[in-house]
Amino acid sequence: MKILVCITHVPDTTSKIQFTADNTKFDTTGVQFIIGPYDDYALARAVELRDQTGGTLTVLNVGEAETEPTLRKALAIGADDAIRVNSSPKDSFFVASQIAHYAKEGGYDLILMGRESIDFNGGMVHGMVGELLNMPSFSPVMKLEVDGSKVIMAREIEGGKEMLEATLPLIAGCQEPIAEWKIPNMRGIMSARTKPLNVVEPVSNETQAEVSQYQLPPAKGSVKLVDKDNVSELVRLLKNEAKVL
Amino acid sequence: MSILVYIEQAEGKVKKTSLEAVAFAKALANQTGEGDVVAIALGSIDSGELAGIGGAGASKVLHASDSKLNDGVIQAHASAVAQAFSSVGAKTLVLAKSSLGDAVAARLAIKLKAGLVSNVVELPNTSSGYTVKRSIYTGKAFAETSVTTENKILAIKKNAIDLILNDSKATVEPFAVTLSESDLASKITSTERATGEVLLPEADIVVSGGRGLKGPENWGMLEEMAKILGAATGCSKPVSDIGWRPHHEHVGQTGVKVAPTLYIAVGISGAIQHLAGVNSSKCIVVINKDPEAPFFKAADYGIVGDAFEVVPKLNEALKAEL
């Protein structure tokens, strides 16, 4: 089985979010970049499936040269080779178009990625790639088993989950608990240095919904503390002051 | 010309978030002069429920009652909505962000060649161009997004608009859809859904517990509070990781992001990953015995005290006052 995992290169979840250049650019000062946490689940499951069924595992990222350490980390975790589409990810449609092109070229049976990136939170790329390639797409997938060409999945829905059956090829946007995150070991880190990382150019420049300006939410006022022996005061405040009851 | 709204149902009832999408579309139509609001509803839904969508601002509801659409088969729903979009000559599709809504919207963006904006928090600015404000970085920032395509899809976040329902009824028309084999290639074999409870992502009030509660056997008092308030229950990531509570209750960066009017956190310290899931709440109440818990910095109201002492008293006070 040929597996493709698409990963994002995103600020660590503890990062302070700030912008520069008149609020038109993300401020990377002091920010550590990681594999998107949801993508990391997809990658972990893909490594398991590759080991179980044989075959190959390719990781792909749409990003400029600074994302290569993130791709190398994915190689250290267990991917066999990597593709970097050499462009900043301009919008969901742009990214989906690149993935669809290179996925078609590679002829993958299973395409996994995170349910959403944790920077833009769109959660749209997997569905777009699915439609572009005329393949079924599923998200958010929390369980995925492959049996020959049959795939059994659990997809999270509001307040529960649904079990699904589909056939390869397909695309899934993943989330926990599909697999446990894998931490690269020393052998993985060493071998990642020499695994192929191919840089390819974007196939189209078309975008549909680009960001023009960023904004931070207004600062939060300070907390109003209520004495623990006077809890009915809290109820009154919620009712009369906050008006949320 | 009309704005189309994709309606989701749960057990034959129209979801409240879909009614919010209708109200949003109505306000948008008033702003842009895009005519009236038409809703597309799929599968078996009671006709009274469908007419009631008029109360949120739709003048017409197209009902594709094919029972194959009862389940949320993503490809089939995307096909059906695309057919409705071209049938009413819409340029804009509005829907509520949800597990199914997101999956359907993404495929429709390609089918309809439509620029798609997700997590929309307010009405677009259409005075020059078409700019949509959306929530990014898991609620830690916003992005103004310029949509350049003629067709547009807006997936709105909960509370993007105040929903006020009136008694108006929409005209309900049957709508025939053609589904291909590939639309129905995948199948939903079973669905497990917490029944009779308020669903977490859609709840107006959420009561959440963390490790401070010491064990799953102590959730009774939170469930009682949730019952008094008509709230949903949630939990922190460690709690769902150890299996004290089901995964679908995990609120946070990699779990459910909630946007209730009131979020009550009990025994949760407030790690940044948890805050990311709750920062869109209107009002946050934190109960924690550690006065240094970081959650207090993000809270509107707080009580420093032992949950086992405070929560039962608070439940009594809530019962007395409500």
pLDDT per position as a tens digit, A60-71: 999 999 999 999
pLDDT on residue B188: 92
**Residue numbers of the domain that contains B175:** 3-184
> Both B216 and B300 in a single domain?
yes
Chunked mean pLDDT (size 10), chain B, 322 residues: 94 91 97 95 92 97 93 93 97 96 97 97 94 94 96 94 92 96 91 79 93 96 96 95 92 90 96 92 96 96 97 95 82
How close is the nearest chain A Cα to the Cα of B167, in Å? Answer: 25
Query: Residues B283, B231: contact at Cβ < 8 Å?
Result: no
> Both B44 and B128 in a single domain?
yes
pLDDT on residue B194: 75
* DSSP H or E stretch at residue A40: helix A37-53
| CB interface of B with A, residues 84-113, below 8 Å | 98-100, 102-107, 109-111
> Both B108 and B221 in a single domain?
no
Q: Cβ separation of B283 and A237 shorter than 8 Å?
A: no
> Both B235 and B312 in a single domain?
yes
How close is the nearest chain B Cα to the Cα of A152, in Å? Answer: 10
For residue B186, give the nearest of A134, A166, A214 by CB distance.
A166
Tokens encoding B302: 């707080």
Q: Percentage of chain A with pLDDT > 70? A: 100
Measure the CA–CA gap between B244 and B222, rounded to whole angstroms.
Answer: 13
pLDDT on residue B196: 63
Q: Cβ separation of A124 and B116 shorter than 8 Å?
A: yes
Residue B299 lies in a domain: yes
Residue A238: band (very low, low, confident or very high) from pLDDT cuts 50, 70, 90: very high
Res A230 pLDDT > 90: yes
The count of domains in chain B is 2
Measure the CA–CA gap between A39 and A34, rounded to whole angstroms.
Answer: 10
Residue A223's closest chain B neighbor by CA? B300
How close is the nearest chain B Cα to the Cα of A170, in Å? Answer: 10
Query: Residues B53, B45: contact at Cβ < 8 Å?
Result: no
Cβ pairs bridging A and B (under 8 Å): 261
Query: Residues A159, A123: contact at Cβ < 8 Å?
Result: no
Instruction: Identify the residue whose tokens are 């509803």.
Output: B41
Q: Which positions ≥6 away from B295 have C-beta within 8 Å?
A: B265, B268, B269, B270, B274, B275, B284, B286, B288, B302
* DSSP H or E stretch at residue A186: helix A186-192
What are the percentages of helix, strand and coil residues in chain A, rounded to 5? 30, 30, 40
Res A82 pLDDT > 70: yes
Instruction: Name the average pLDDT for chain A.
Output: 95
Cα dihedral sign, B35-B36-B41-B44: negative
User: In B118-247, which residue ranges form alpha helices assigned H by DSSP?
Assistant: 220-229, 237-241
Exposure of B312 by Cβ count < 10 A (0-12 exposed, 13-18 middle, 19+ buried)? middle
ipTM of the complex in this document: 0.93
Instruction: Identify the residue whose tokens are 């009309």.
Output: B2
> Both B304 and B210 in a single domain?
yes
Average pLDDT over residues A25-37: 95
Arch. (CATH architecture) of A2-219: 3-Layer(aba) Sandwich (3.40)
Residue B146 lies in a domain: yes
Query: Residues A142, B248: contact at Cβ < 8 Å?
Result: no
> Both B19 and B153 in a single domain?
yes
Tokens encoding B241: 């990781």
Res A135 pLDDT > 80: yes
Q: Which positions ≥6 away from A11 have C-beta within 8 Å?
A: A17, A26, A28, A31, A32, A33, A34, A118, A119, B137
> Both B165 and B275 in a single domain?
no
Residue B34 lies in a domain: yes
Output the CA torsion B105→A157→A90→A27 (10° steps): 140
Which residues does chain B have within 8 Å of residue A128's beta carbon, measured at their own beta carbons? 106-107, 109-110
Measure the CA–CA gap between A76 and A191, rounded to whole angstroms.
Answer: 7
Instruction: Identify the residue whose tokens are 């993958």.
Output: A108
> Both B224 and B127 in a single domain?
no
Residue B195 lies in a domain: no
pLDDT on residue A201: 97
Residue A135's closest chain B neighbor by CA? B182
Residue A221: band (very low, low, confident or very high) from pLDDT cuts 50, 70, 90: confident
Measure the CA–CA gap between B237 and B197, rounded to whole angstroms.
Answer: 21
Residue A141's closest chain B neighbor by CA? B99
Q: Are strands A9-11 and A33-35 parallel, antiparallel or unpaired?
A: antiparallel
Q: Cβ separation of A138 and B138 shorter than 8 Å?
A: no
All structural domains of chain A with their residue ranges: 2-219
Cα B247 to Cα A157, A160, B100, B110, B287, distances in angstroms: 11, 9, 18, 32, 23
Q: Does the CB of A96 have a partner CB in chain B at under 8 Å? A: yes
Q: Which of A129, A122, A160, A232 is nearest to B145 (CA)?
A: A122
In DSSP terms, B152 is beta-bridged to B92, B115
pLDDT on residue B128: 87
User: In chain B, which residue ranges form alpha helices assigned H by DSSP?
Assistant: 16-32, 47-52, 74-88, 99-111, 220-229, 237-241, 272-278, 295-298, 307-321
Q: Which of B260, B254, B259, B217 is nearest to B236 (CA)?
A: B254
Q: Which of B197, B287, B293 is nearest to B245 (CA)?
A: B197
> Both B222 and B119 in a single domain?
no
User: What pTM, to 2 d.p., does this model score?
Assistant: 0.91
> Both B152 and B232 in a single domain?
no
